[in-house]
Structures are given as C-alpha cells and as structure tokens.
Chain A
Amino acid sequence: MAVNVVGAARSSVRATGDRVFQLLLASMAAGIPLIMGLMLVALVAAARPAIERFGVGFLSGSTWDPVAGEFGVLPFIYGTLVSSALALLISVPLGIGTAVFLSELAPGWLRSPVRFLVELLAAIPSVVYGLWGIFVLVPWVRTVLTPALKGTLGFLPLFTGPPLGIGMLTAGLILSVMVVPFIVAVSTEVMRAVPRSQREAALALGATTWETTRKAVIPYARSGIVGAIFLALARALGETMAVTMVIGNVPQIKASLLAPAYTVSAVIANEFAEATQDLYVAALVYAGLALFLVTVIVNILARVLVFRVARGPGLIRE
C-alpha cells in the first residue's frame, strides 16, 4: 500500500518534470524560426529605401555604381553561385571518396588520425585560408595551373584571358578545400551508421567490397550524404573572407573561369564599413537580403532533391 503511494507521487513528479522539460525544449526549438523571422524583418526594414527605389530590377541589374547611386546585384549572385558550384564539383568526389575510405576500407589505426586532421581542417579560420590563398594558391594557379589548362583546354571559352592567378577558379579551389571537411565528417558518420546486417547481407550474396559499398552502404546512407553536400554548399555560399582575398572583386559576368569575379557576401564585407549615403547602405542590405533568398531557394531545392532521392529505388529499409 505504502509503496503504491510513493510510486504514484514519484510518477506525478516525473510527469511535471517531463512537461517542464518539454516546454523548455519546445521554446528552444521555437527560437530558431523566430530568429529567422526577425532577421528577415530587420533586413527588409533596413533595405527599404533600396527596395522602393530599385524593386525587383535590383536582382537583374548588373551595374554597381555607388557614385551614381545605381545598384544591381546580378554579377554578385552569379559569382556566389558559380564559385560555390565549382567548389562542390571538386569537393564532392573528394569528400565522398575520403568518407568511403574512412568508413569501409581504412584500418582502425589510420581512421582516427585522418578524421582528426579532417576535423582540424574545418577549424581553421577562413582568413588563414585567405592568406594561404594569396601566398601559395594564387601563385601556383598563375604559374602552373593556368598555363596547363590553357595548353590543354584553351580552346574552351572557360579557360581564356590573361593568367592573373586570382579569379573564379581560385575562389572555387579555396572553397572546395574549406568545405571538404563537412562532407567527409558527415558522410563518414552516416556510413558508419549503416547497420552491419546490410553489409553482411551483401557479402553473403557474394558481393565484392566495391559492390557492397555501392549497392548496400551508399544507398542506405544516401540522404545523409546529400545532406552533407548541402551543408557544404551552405557554407560555400556564405563564405566571405577567404573568397574576397582571391576572387579579384570585379562585378562582371564572364564565361572564363580565369577571369576575376565577385560574390554577394564579399561586396557587403568590403563596402559596408565605408558606406555613408543612406541609399548605399540600403543597397548593401538589399544585397544581403538577396543572398538570404538565394540561400533559401537553394535549400528548398535541396529538400526537394533529398525527398526525391529518399523515395527513389534501391533504398533498403530495415
């Protein structure tokens, strides 16, 4: 009897505690959309003079002239998207390859040191990447990579123009080094999380290691890997410091990857501190809003893609 009373009291304490804990966590979770909403409101409010003046034309305009008070953000968005796409083009194969090696093939003694190094790569401040870019990567691109590309693929419009060393390609390269740790770290974890039974089943059917990885592990981990790639893309879209140090900072849309370009985040960082006229400041905030929208659109596309991939054939569910 007595035991029962104590038990009931304890369970009611537990129920209250659970409820408090639930409320606490719910309010934390609610904080994230709230912050997003507040950011959007603040951006729109601060950008209002520019929104009223330029409207949607701001997104398709390609002149950026603070003296004349004429602003268009298209070359910057182009630079942001192309440099990020380049970064993914390089870092996705590299990152997934590394992740497969670490999760499926690497001996135990090698796995932790390599993972530690990869995580270290993610911890380097971006301005350090920028300095490395200026002093090591840019000269290498100018004296080695550019002549090699022009010698072999120079007939393509992608590789024309003088060998400056700085430009879209260099920005893409430096971004790829910066985002690869995200892809490696997340993909490795996702692949390690694939149940042993999946691999054992594949091996029992006579699959080689390659076939096991390709047909059992990767499909199972696919949505996680796609998530890793979009995490990397988000990082690449917003990266500022390292990019502005090597991209050349010229707002233009050129077919050549060797030509200098500019990104949205770089122009904001570069010009905000010295922007004095109200319209100029508003235009920079509007550019920030445009970047925000681009990021949202890219993320929505990512969701759709993940949804498609997750529903696609070949996924084995437990």
Chain B
Amino acid sequence: MINGMWKVAPTSVARGAARRRTEAELQRGRGNFAWCRVKWNLGCILLAVVVFAGGAAAQTVTLNGAGATFPFPLYSKWSQVYAEEKGVQINYQSIGSGGGIRQFIARTVDFGASDGPMTDEQIAQAGGRVLHIPMVAGAVVPVYNLPGVGQGLNFTPDVLADIFLGRITKWNDPRLSRLNPKANLPGTDIVVVHRSDGSGTTAIWVNYLSKVSPMWKARVGEGTSVNWPTGLGGRGNEGVAGLVRQTPNTLGYVELAYALTNKMTFGSVRNKAGQFVRPTLSSTTKAMDGALRSIPDDYRIFFTNPDGKDAYPVAGFTWILINAEQADAIKGKALVEFLWWAIHDGQKYAPTLLYAPLPKSLVTRVERTLKSVTSRGQAILQ
C-alpha cells in the first residue's frame, strides 16, 4: 500500500518540468545558484552590519510583552505611536491570557498581559510582588438574532442567568415578555451560543452571572472556560457572532467592540441601581467609576455588577502584569514610563478602537501604583 502513495508526491507539473530540463542545463543552473548565494550572503552581512551600527548608535530599548488577544489592536497602536514619540520599541505578542501569564511567570517577557487576574498560586510562582496595571476596559454584551425584533431588548440579571442555565427556554417566556412589552417575541426555542475557546470574554460574562445568580455560582461557577449547561459553542468572538447572525432565535455574548463593528443587535442589562443600561464605552467607564471603592489596591477584581446609576454591569479590565521590583534598571525605567504614558496620553486612542478608557478617579490611583515600582530598592519614578 505504501508503494502506491509514493507516486502521488511529485505533481504532474514538476515531473514535466524535470523531464524537459537536460543535464547540462541543470549543471549551469547549479553554478548560477551558487554564485547567487555568495552575493546574497555578502548582502546579508552588509545589511546586518548597517542595522547593528544604527541600533548601537540610537541606544534603543526594546520591551517584550505577551498575553491577551483582546487588547492587541490597542497595544499595537500604542507600540507604533510610542516608538515614533519616544523611540522605545514595544513588541507585543497576542498569544492569549493564559500564555501571557505562563510567559510572565517564566520571565521570558518584560511584561505580561491578561484579561483575567492571576491567582495567588500563580503570583507565588512568579516570585516577588506582582502588579496588575489596568489599561482599559471592555464590556460584554448580550447579542441576539430574532427576526422582526430590533435593537435594545431588556434583560434582567436573573433572566440572563436562567436562559444560560437552560431554565428559560422560549423567547416568549412571561419573564422575558414582561420586560419587553412592545417587542413581538416569538414562541420559538432560545438557542444559546457561548464561546468554545477559553477567553477573558467568557470569564467576565460568567463572573457576572455568578454574582447575580446563586444557582449559577453553585452549578457552573466561573473561569475562562466552564461546563456550559446548555447551548452551542463558537470559536472566538467571530465564531459566536457568525453563529448568532446566521441562526435565527439565538442569544449569545460578545465584546462590545465586536457587536458594534459587526452591527449586531444587542440588548440592555438592568444594573444594580435598577436601571436598564445600554452598553456603550461611556457606560463602561461609568461602571469603573461606580466600582472604584470596591476595586482593591492590587486591582485584581472583575468589577462586574457595580454601583452607579448609568453603569453598564458586565465589563472587565484588561491588565498589564509587571514585577514591582525591576531587575534591569534601564528596561524597568522604560517600562514604567511607557505605562505612565499609556494611562495618560495613551488613553485617547482607546475610544476610536472601541475600548473604554479609565476614568480620572482610577488614573490617579494607578499613578500611585506605578510610583511604587522599584529597581534595586530605589523608586523608578520620582
């Protein structure tokens, strides 16, 4: 059986070409090729010398980071602008929050990035004090596809939890239609769509459901992946969005940025103050403001279900992870200065890329945290 397979490998095109080429031609070709390689090598060496000399002259610092995919568009924008303004290169690899934390613990990167806070155990593994610096926030919104029903269905926390628990199964369930008396809700089954890949989006969504529903907390709990009681799994925001947009009667959750750019229909959620709030960038920033007092000094919190009349309740930070004591003084200084820039000047790039900027009240707190970063015991920022 193996003999047969061998014959597939060379394509008919390659075989024809080989037959046409004579031995002499092959010889000549090989000679040319060798010469090309010599020239190419010389070019390489020259280029390397030039690049190396240029690099040494400018004394550029390069910061390497890896982690969450969610803030990648913002971080790459920052990296581009910051290199132009300050000449510091920032390499960011969006490998996922879990990978970011692993690389940060292994100290293969200068900073990690994550949509979920590190556990105590992970911080112990990393050794030393670890700082979670919030950069921006993102909201997670319920998206749906109901023929004949437009934007802005109202959801309460308990209804959302019961739908995702599989306890409310019809769109015209009295608990849903009472909230949306004007909408013409059909009597069809609700098809729940969730993320199948581990993600910060899921972590924020299920953290919210755990806070508002004791039954969810007991039966499912929270994490980047959970054992879903019902529904279909789509891979990535785009997978969930694709399923929801194509399949009638679906209800899923995606990042606000994703819902906006894909012009999806999404609902409002009733917050702690009893208001139905439509998810927007400003209602997400309001949520951070409302949660300010409950945000601890290490910022390791999902600030879902916060106080505040206009706060949209399902949102979370994305953090950059750094060591409070920087071993390399030059890199440490560059890193802290970059983060200082990010929470001030950098914030203005957030709204255009559909991230919610930090409120002023929180920025003052993060300033204090950044000032606490040291190198060899000395504060880096004076």
Q: How does the 8 Å CB contact mask read for B88-106 relative to A, with 1 for contact and 0 for none?
A: 0000000111110110000
Determine whether the beta carbon of B227 is less than 8 Å from that of A164: no
B1 within 8 A of A: yes
The interface residues of chain A lying within 8 Å CB-to-CB of B157 are none
CA A223 – CA B235 in complex, angstroms?
39
Closest to B114 in A: A276
Q: How far is the CA of A65 from the CA of B232 in the complex (A)?
A: 16
B228 near A221 with CB under 8 A, answer no
A276, B235: Cβ atoms under 8 Å? no
Contact in complex: B197, A270 (CB < 8 Å): yes
Q: Is the CB of A193 within 8 A of B224?
A: no
Inter-subunit contact A193/B101 (CB<8 Å): no
**Closest B residue to A191 using CB positions:** B4
- Identify A276's interface contact among B3, B119, B220, B242, CB under 8 A: B119
Contacts of B232 in A (CB 8 A): 164, 166, 248-250, 260
A66 and B227 in contact, given A227-B5, A274-B199 (Cβ under 8 angstroms): yes
Interface flags for B352-378 (1: CB within 8 Å of A; 0: not) read 000000000000000000000000000
Contacts of A166 in B (CB 8 A): 232, 243
A236 at the interface (CB under 8 A from B): no
Binding site secondary structure of chain A: helix
| Interface residue A306 (Cβ < 8 Å from any Cβ of B) | yes
Stretch at the interface among A28-36, A111-119, A197-205, A287-295: A111-119
Which range contains the number of B residues in contact with the other chain? Answer: 35 or more
How does the 8 Å CB contact mask read for A137-166 relative to B, with 1 for contact and 0 for none?
011001000000000000000000010111
The interface residues of chain B lying within 8 Å CB-to-CB of A67 are 220-223, 226-227
Q: Are B198 and A227 in contact (CB under 8 A)?
A: no
Distance between Cα atoms of A269 and B99 in the complex (Å): 13
Report yes or no: B226 in contact with A193, Cβ–Cβ below 8 A.
no
At the interface, yes or no: A231 with Cβ under 8 Å from chain B? yes
Are the C-beta atoms of B196 and A227 separated by less than 8 Å? no
Q: Does A273 contact B (CB under 8 A)?
A: yes
A66 cross-chain contacts in B, Cβ below 8 A: 198, 223-227
Which residues between 61 and 87 of chain A lie within 8 Å of chain B, taking CB atoms?
63-68
Q: Cβ of B87 < 8 Å from any Cβ of A?
A: no
- Contacts of B2-17 to chain A: CB distance below 8 A: 2-5, 7-8, 11-12
Q: Which residue of B lies closest to A229 (CB)?
A: B1
Q: Does A104 sit at the interface, judged by CB under 8 A? A: no
Question: B1 and A223: CB pair below 8 A?
Answer: yes
Q: Is the CB of A249 within 8 A of B235?
A: yes
The chain A residue with its CB closest to the CB of B221 is A67
| Interface presence of B231 (CB below 8 A) | yes
Nearest CB in chain B: distance from A300 CB, A: 15
Given A67-B227, A68-B221, CB of A112 within 8 Å of CB of B12: yes
Is B166 part of the binding interface, using a Cβ–Cβ cutoff of 8 Å?
A: no
Q: Specify which of B97, B233, B239 is in contact with A274 (CB 8 Å cutoff).
A: B97
Segment of A6-14, A90-98, A182-190 engaged in the interface with chain B:
A182-190
Q: Which chain B residue shows the least CB distance to A119? A: B11
**Contact A271 to B8, CB < 8 A, known contacts A162-B189, A227-B2, A245-B239:** no
Bound state CA distance, A164 and B223, in angstroms? 27
Docked-complex contact A260 and B233, CB < 8 angstroms: yes
With contacts A66-B223, A273-B96, A274-B197 taken as known, whether A250 is within 8 angstroms of B8 at the C-beta atoms is: no
Please give me the 5 A-B residue pairs with the lowest Cβ-Cβ distance, nearest first: A274-B198, A227-B1, A249-B233, A273-B96, A249-B196
Instruction: Kindly list 6 other residue pairs between chains A and B, CB separation below 8 angstroms, not including A262-B196, A270-B198, A274-B199.
Output: A162-B191, A189-B8, A245-B239, A249-B232, A250-B233, A274-B99
A-B CB contact pairs (8 Å), 7 listed:
A189-B5, A193-B4, A227-B5, A248-B232, A250-B233, A262-B233, A276-B116
